[in-house]
Structure 1
């Protein structure tokens, strides 16, 4: 028994050591490029012109951030990004929860048909051109609502919430209805509070997707006043590449200045998600563990 205990303890230590080394290397692979972007955004144009990896700015400068914030379009783009992400997450989660609550009831007529139709949309879509024609026919081109309405429903999220709602004891709903509560009251007062971990997980994923999305703007928006931060960043990257090609062999000031503004915009774009994620992490972990343990 003692030999087995010593061997088991040795195996555990070897496993922990290897695991820590692998996780440490994985963390380095993630942190080093991110650190390079942040530090480079605080470097002067002369430092960026020298090229290479920057571990610490030799010439600290805030000119890149001054150039970004001096542009009035950055504030409008930031407002659009915050508005479409906040409103999009709330409406998406609530709409998916409503659909999932309805489909979780086995007595709903036509439930199998609705479920089958939803499953089909998980694997097949109409394509880019039919979707564009649909958006155009609905009058959503060059409107803020093109960010919200098409993203209301994700059947994958509906399935997650539908399975979660099925685990809620029927006795809770029955007792509430005996006390006179209707379906809306049961949904809002019982199912929504009990499903907060699942809804927070869906909100986190959808929020990151909404915040990083620029293809919707590229396909359906031509009005620059409706551009989010991500589309503004996309334009900066395209302009920097174009200017770099046009100025090969010439002055490097334009290229380095544009690169610095590009890096500063990347940091500003990423910062809100990095700040919000720790606040939702505990809900995210609880949501990911849903259904993992059965008693």
Structure 2
């Protein structure tokens, strides 16, 4: 039976649609303007008035970005830390969440209090730096991976989801001779794809977007992430000029079409586009996983 909406419902639906349209435009407009500027001739862009479509289309800005070979190493480090860090964090946090979701875990209340304390309080930057130094993590790739293996907040979300899995399934597996690890990997994980995808997206975006740990805990240019590369292009005029100078030396015929502003815009798009492409494939799991985890908690 088709339900006929009242006049009030139609007014409310129209209002919500208009508000969401405005929010969408406000959200997408800066990104679109950045895309347009990155494809516009640099000299022409400096005149202003380039908003909705490139006035003088060119690929020169992107050629300038990718002519610098250091960007490829930065991409490699960022992709490697995103993949390894996300997989490691999901597994490590998931195992902890599974243990905390079991009723027969001894001292579970003490463990939870300790973890919650670390969630709200930290030692600060200097103690963290000294700890990483003593653990020999400074200026190594593993400084990106090991400190991010566990998140209390993500553990709580996963624990809430695992609690919704019927105990009868776990008991049946134990009767069939399955151990805890086999239950976790062959039973719990396949049933938890929505929340795993949500946590993986949380971790993946965090690993891809961060530059602070690369800036503070590494010195080697071979360990810089793509976001640190972007930050240096945007904030360091000398570094931006060196990128532009490398482009001018390698593609002199395109040098006049490049400006510092359009170079920064092209760099911004180049660093954000990969994670934007991945997001739609995980979106359906992302919403479902967060909602189920919160409802069953």
TM > 0.5: yes
Are 2:218 and 1:216 aligned? no
Find the counterpart in structure 2 of residue 273 from structure 1. Answer: 275
Q: How far did 1:242 drift?
A: 8.5
Whole-angstrom distance in 2 between the partners of 1:157 and 1:182: 25
Correspondence for 1:262 among 254, 258, 264: 264
Contact 1:77 1:229 (C-alpha < 8 Å) held by counterparts: yes
Find the counterpart in structure 2 of residue 249 from structure 1. Answer: none
Q: How far did 1:288 drift?
A: 2.3
Q: How far did 1:145 drift?
A: 0.4
Whole-angstrom distance in 2 between the partners of 1:110 and 1:191: 22
TM-score by length of 2: 0.89
> For residues 161-240 of structure 1, what are the structure 2 equivalents within 5 Å?
161-240=158-237
Find the counterpart in structure 1 of residue 23 from structure 2. Answer: 26
Whole-angstrom distance in 2 between the partners of 1:132 and 1:19: 48
Q: Deviations over 1:203-248 (max 9, x none)?
A: 111111110000001110110111111000011012238889xxxx
Aligned length: 281
Whole-angstrom distance in 2 between the partners of 1:267 and 1:185: 43
Correspondence for 1:116 among 109, 113, 118: 113
Taking a change above 3 Å as real, the CA distance of residues 61 and 53 of structure 1, as seen in their structure-2 partners, is closer
Find the counterpart in structure 1 of residue 77 from structure 2. Answer: 80
Give 3-state SS (helix, strand or coil) of 2:259's partner.
helix
Q: Deviations over 1:78-107 (max 9, x none)?
A: 111110001110000110001111111222
Which structure's relative contact order is higher, taking Cα pairs within 8 Å and 6+ residues apart?
2
Structure 1's unaligned 5+ residue stretches are 245-252
TM-score by length of 1: 0.90
The root-mean-square deviation of aligned C-alpha atoms, in Å, is: 2.1
Correspondence for 1:66 among 56, 59, 63: 63
Contact 1:96 1:158 (C-alpha < 8 Å) held by counterparts: yes
Q: How far did 1:258 drift?
A: 2.0
Give 3-state SS (helix, strand or coil) of 2:138's partner.
coil
Give 3-state SS (helix, strand or coil) of 1:278's partner.
helix
Correspondence for 2:124 among 102, 105, 127: 127
Whole-angstrom distance in 1 between the partners of 2:295 and 2:159: 18
Whole-angstrom distance in 1 between the partners of 2:90 and 2:83: 11
Q: Deviations over 1:247-273 (max 9, x none)?
A: xxxxxx99x622222111111111111
Contact 2:36 2:50 (C-alpha < 8 Å) held by counterparts: no
Q: How far did 1:12 drift?
A: 1.1
